[in-house]
Structure 1
């Protein structure tokens, strides 16, 4: 991954020259929060999808983490994201803003440190592989449990939370799967390592409740699009065995977008391919990010040319 220009604390810098000192507290303690955002080639040019919602969630993550003051507002960070995409000249790219403890805080107290902010962009296409959208992917239920919300706060995209996902994903890939499904501390389905999860049963869309998951912006988008289609969307506890008997199962995330699960724990889901409702939601999602739906006008932030 390369970013020609990276925005650091208010100014664009040559990406090759940006370095983080070894003694940066965020590296040692995971004291950072981040977002994953996408810019798409839309009908009127490059456009960043649901940028404001992502920036507001970033600042909420920082609040949950415990920061009392931050050096930039949501509006300033929105402008910085647009500026960084424009400077790098991408029509489509992935955007990574990061708020991190750049100095101080060695006594494990945020109040003794200083928050810094960076934004990088790079080209990143199929997160779960080039054939995932069409064919779906294979998953298993991980041996690792998703964080308890009173152990590591699940509503915040904290960098230090992600070893949980890395452990689960690495285990699953080594076992021959593409993704891991993680259960919560009560043994109910929570989410995947970087995506939220949905089931289709009798034409209804089911998804785990909000309490122990990261409330994904792609998840929210798909729920809105499904309701626009007249589908009933229900957030309720989901057991592991309900996955196996679902008509369709799919996952959503900024990187993954909308991808079906064709197999879980060696059990074929549906007909073993991306199901018809998943396909409809994929198509609606792709139309929304490219400015082809009425809702797109509120969801897209266009990047002006230089």
Structure 2
């Protein structure tokens, strides 16, 4: 069964990985947290996904910005400053002798609770920090063949209900969207905002190309995506007109090309939406160009981080 842009080939090396839990390195089978942990009890926490390229996490500064802003928004003390948390990430990679082709899941929850109850004040310890590194590369055919999307009934909600800007552990609305999409035979769910306009997908951000322009949603009802913002930046640098705007499914069905973005797979074409073939059903020239621009952008970020680490 397809898992959308997150499809990957199993790597046997992942059986022996060491996972960081609150400063300790644990073997996979020993890497556990308490049933009283806030993340398990209520999904109370924030997280980031990081792509490791040539020994370094791509766009780490932007990911840490989002992590610490999310923690501040929910009044959670991570317990480590940025430098210490960065050190923990690199220490985890070193413990596993990992250098490339790695995806890291960085998770922070509010920590251990005295009793399974909602109130954050019943936490009795520091935040729980988990860093899971895995050898995991997106399937090459995903970037070429593309995805099938299905517009789901589950909406991206107003920020006064649950702010879509928070990359929280509480992802049930996205999970129900995912269920509806794969039940309908699609790879991922296309989600609308409360007004019926296109917002995002259940685990990626959504773009269309029309008449030489690139469109994505206003961003009001989706996570502040790192790859999303990088794609907008590289398009504008390359002279491609790129807009954050309101648009409907009619605009989507008439698009020349469509694609999704995310940390794991980067830029992935979309070949079909709600049974309608996008373009000629194959990766188009705009998507192929943006994939190349984004790859170069990643390389520049990694080169800059390597230069900073050598001069430190």
Q: What is the rounded CA distance, in whole Å, between the counterparts of 1:36 and 1:77 in structure 2?
A: 14
Shift of 1:96: 0.9
Shift of 1:301: 8.4
Cα 1:123/1:157, change in 2 over 3 Å: same
Q: What is the rounded CA distance, in whole Å, between the counterparts of 2:23 and 2:72 in structure 1?
A: 21
Post-superposition CA distance 1:180-208 (Å, at most 9, x none): 10011111111101111111111111110
Post-superposition CA distance 1:107-159 (Å, at most 9, x none): 42223324221111112222xx5422112111111121123211111111111
Shift of 1:2: 4.6
Q: Is 1:110 aligned with 2:120?
A: yes
1:71 aligned residue: 79
Q: Is 1:297 aligned with 2:287?
A: no
Post-superposition CA distance 1:42-89 (Å, at most 9, x none): xxx32220112111211111112232x331112211111111112112
Q: What is the rounded CA distance, in whole Å, between the counterparts of 1:100 and 1:303 in structure 2?
A: 29
Counting helix residues as a fraction of each chain, which structure ranks higher?
2
2:159 to 130, 139, 149: 149
Q: What is the rounded CA distance, in whole Å, between the counterparts of 1:123 and 1:155 in structure 2?
A: 28
The CA RMSD measured in Å over matched residues stands at 2.1
**TM-score, reference length from structure 1:** 0.89
Shift of 1:99: 0.8
2:223 aligned residue: 214
Cα 1:300/1:170, change in 2 over 3 Å: farther
1:172 to 140, 162, 181: 181
Q: Is the 8 A contact 2:152 2:191 kept in 1?
A: yes
1:120 aligned residue: 132
Q: Is the 8 A contact 1:49 1:300 kept in 2?
A: no
Counting strand residues as a fraction of each chain, which structure ranks higher?
1
May I ask how many residue pairs the two structures share in their alignment?
293
Q: What is the rounded CA distance, in whole Å, between the counterparts of 1:299 and 1:275 in structure 2?
A: 32
Q: Is the 8 A contact 2:56 2:302 kept in 1?
A: no
1:1-306 to 2 correspondence within 5 Å? Answer: 2=15, 4-40=17-53, 45-67=54-76, 69-90=77-98, 91-104=100-113, 106-113=116-123, 114=125, 115-126=127-138, 129-160=139-170, 162-289=171-298, 291=299, 293=300, 296-298=302-304
Q: What is the rounded CA distance, in whole Å, between the counterparts of 2:308 and 2:27 in structure 1?
A: 24
Shift of 1:299: 6.0
Structure 1 gap segments, 5+ residues each: none
Shift of 1:300: 6.3
